[in-house]
Amino acid sequence: MAHSKPAGPVQLSFLLFFLMATVEMHRGSSSSSERTVEMRGRKVLENDLVISPPMGWNSWNHFKCDITEKLIMETADAMVSTGLASLGYQYINLDDCWGAFNRDSRGNLQPNSSTFPSGIKALADYVHAKGLKLGIYGDAGNRTCTLRIPGSLGNELRDARTFALWGIDYLKYDNCNNLGKSPKKRYKKMGKALKYAGRNIFFSICEWGREHPATWAPMVGNSWRTTDDIHDDWDSMTDCADQNDKWASFAGPGGWNDPDMLEVGNGGMKTEEYRSHFSIWSLSKAPLIIGCDVRNMSHETFEILSNAEVIAVNQDKLGIQGKKVKGSRDLEVWSGLLSDEKVAIVLWNRLSSPKPITAYWSDIGLHPSTIVDARDLWTHSTISSVKGQLTAIVNAHDCKMYVLTPLK
């Protein structure tokens, strides 16, 4: 039996890793500051996964617990064959329900053997061979939210190491069954464990905005949820947008506010509403994590998710989160600065009939005499030499999105 054998070299090196990492983890606050880096005046986590918001796909919004390795492989295939992968959507992320109800005899996490019979390492190999990355889901408590598979509280080092050995590139770390302990401490522990796991793993903090993560999570992870779960309806989507907006000034290269994953293509909203959803998430520098069945997308869904001009706003190298500058739950103007002195704006009609909406230069940080070319990112046409303000008629629940380029 495995446990009665003398320890081999692999087991010894694992033990050594554990001891060293445990000592490091208990060193206290000095080691936490060693792993942060100053970026534009704020301290953020030091790993290489900081440049622009992550893009990819996650199983939860569409499939909930109905996931198998076959589905994940077909999704990876579809991400490539549809062209979404080459637009930047690189992470293929498992959510809850991938795991077995119990740890294995050594105490390690293990996949559900009937739905993931080949194991997670084989799945990661498959996904990596397509040029994509594999994400997984864990929990900063003792069981996950829905299927109650084991969480990682108290097992952070062991589980981070398992994820690294499997070839995982992204961890979404949820907040259920947390024994009432402070998120700050629980997430910090996993953040450190990932550092010692020997692989660059994007750390997506999912504590639902409970302890104002924007104020502490930049030093712990790469993104943090600012809201409760999104649902595939207009009210939920607009609420997530508004709640996330409050934390705009805390985001930037090094760490992103996360208003939850995209519902585009799941059927609960109209095309105009999904266009608004995608535009606002992009302007807000949110992670663009697709949540529909990409194997069977409609043309409208693909048109939204594949809009390269809108994606470019999200991925702009300045990394400034655009925000609402005018209006409240009615006729709104959102805007954000881009690199090369460009400005992105979204005119968003949240009322139920078509209305004109005007962005005045004074609202969006431009001098009133500035002349710009306005590129309409949804019609892919340009309005030349616009001065002082821009007005458009916007359909109910729809938006117009522009990039304004000042003329020299």
Q: Which residues are annotated as catalytic?
A: 174, 229
Nearer to ligand GLA by Cβ, of 144 and 162: the residue is 144
Q: How far is the CB of 326 from ligand GLA (least distance, A)?
A: 31
Nearer to ligand GLA by Cβ, of 226 and 307: the residue is 226
| First-to-final CA distance of the chain | 76
Nearer to ligand GLA by Cβ, of 71 and 396: the residue is 71
By CB under 6 A, name the binding residues for ligand GLA: 60, 95-96, 144-146, 174, 206, 208, 229
Q: How far is the CB of 60 from ligand GLA (least distance, A)?
A: 5
Q: Kindly give the interhelix angle for 271-283 and 234-245, rounded to the nearest 10 degrees.
A: 10
CA–CA gap between residue 296 and residue 300 (Å, rounded): 12
Instruction: Specify the length of the chain in residues.
Output: 408
Nearer to ligand GLA by Cβ, of 231 and 326: the residue is 231
Residue (of 259, 224, 223, 263) closest to 243 by Cα position = 259
CA–CA gap between residue 239 and residue 233 (Å, rounded): 10
Q: How far is the CB of 74 from ligand GLA (least distance, A)?
A: 21
Q: How far is the CB of 269 from ligand GLA (least distance, A)?
A: 18
* 3-state SS class at 349: strand
Q: Which residue is associated with the tokens 């000095």?
A: 30
H or E element, residue 278 = helix 271-283
List all residues 6 or more positions away from 59 whose beta carbon is below 8 Å from its beta carbon: 67, 71, 72, 75, 93, 94, 95
